[in-house]
Copies of this chain bind each other. A is one copy, B any other.
Amino acid sequence: MNKETLIQVQKRIQPYIHRTPVLTSELINTISGTQVYFKCENFQKMGAFKMRGATNAILNLSQEQREKGVVTHSSGNFAQALSLAAKKLGVKAYIVMPKNAPQVKKNAVKTYNGEIIECESTPIAREAMAKKVLQEKKATFIHPSNDDQVIFGNSTAAIELLEDYPDLDYIIAPVGGGGLIAGTALAAKYFSKSCKVVGGEPKNVDDAFRSKQSGKIETTNEGTTIADGLRTFLGDRNFPIIQKEVECIITVEEEEIIEAMKLIWERMKIIVEPSSAVAFAAVLKDKEKFKNKKVGVIISGGNVDVTNLPF
């Protein structure tokens, strides 16, 4: 792939996604000691950047593949994103989801016409069920984060941000499965002069931080985190990009995530998920590094239960 690949991706997904706004706040800049540019993917269709990767992955399929549908396993934002992108493109989406997933998440998928296929709540059961659907329906499997087309689609959030603010010194994105940070790193590589990309990750599930140190994909996470969307592992498609193109990963404590989230809610007046707050928490964690710099922060999404907040 090269810059032209991403230009083509940006062009083809553009009719199906929002170009999201970039918001700033004098108070946030004063508090953080830096110039922060929030790329608001919480305003994206279905409320998260995942719409970009899901749309691109489906657009990349042949007509024959599209007729047979797509399948993924996710109970989070990617389940909704793939369902909505498939609906918009007239494609069937099968979503493998644990039986015990919250009803609100099942409902969200149903709103977008996704067909839920329930399984036991273990990684093995999930993989087995996805494989079964693949074979029975001849549908194409699309991984939420470890898929080239998903990564390329995700890159368009940072491409837009760099179009609006070409002289950013840094872009920070949260790290979960690695699909967003890898896409962001490709965007900075091809669409900026010298913008560096940094990941923010909860200390409690710091597999990406450890993977970058050890040079191989680490797949243990003992802890839990309020940023539950980030409790996933890197994969062989995105890890090499992260290893090569991401400057570093900053880990943050749970209370730092909650504090950053509250600060964004109160000062920016926007609703962001805990996962999004992780990226801004990383800026606050290392104020010296980002002092007086121009820092883009990818607000990854805004799907949060407003009746059950951590503050």
Interfacial residues, chain A to chain B (CB-CB below 8 A): 21, 23, 26, 42-43, 45, 47, 262, 265-266, 269-272, 302, 306-307, 309, 311
Top 4 nearest A-B pairs (CB, nearest first) are: A269-B302, A269-B271, A42-B269, A265-B306
Q: Are B43 and A306 in contact (CB under 8 A)?
A: no
Contact for A307 among B270, B306, B311, CB less than 8 A = B311
Instruction: Report chain B residues within 8 Å CB of A311.
Output: 306-307
Q: Are A47 and B269 in contact (CB under 8 A)?
A: yes
- Tallying the copies of this chain within the complex gives 2
Q: Are B43 and A269 in contact (CB under 8 A)?
A: yes
Instruction: Report chain B residues within 8 Å CB of A269.
Output: 42-43, 47, 270-272, 302
Instruction: Report chain B residues within 8 Å CB of A302.
Output: 269
- Shortest beta-carbon distance, A35 to chain B, in Å? 16
Chain B residue nearest to A264 (CB atoms) is B271
Instruction: Report chain B residues within 8 Å CB of A43.
Output: 23, 269
- Shortest beta-carbon distance, A105 to chain B, in Å? 14
How far is it, in angstroms, between the C-alpha of A121 and the C-alpha of B160 when the chains are bound? 52
Q: Are B23 and A306 in contact (CB under 8 A)?
A: no
Instruction: Report chain B residues within 8 Å CB of A306.
Output: 262, 265-266, 309, 311
How far is it, in angstroms, between the C-alpha of A271 and the C-alpha of B262 when the chains are bound? 12
16 residue pairs from A and B, CB less than 8 Å apart: A21-B21, A23-B43, A26-B45, A42-B269, A43-B269, A262-B306, A265-B271, A265-B306, A266-B306, A269-B271, A269-B272, A269-B302, A271-B271, A306-B309, A307-B309, A307-B311
How far is it, in angstroms, between the C-alpha of A21 and the C-alpha of B268 when the chains are bound? 13
Instruction: Report chain B residues within 8 Å CB of A265.
Output: 271, 306
Instruction: Report chain B residues within 8 Å CB of A270.
Output: 269-271
Instruction: Report chain B residues within 8 Å CB of A47.
Output: 269
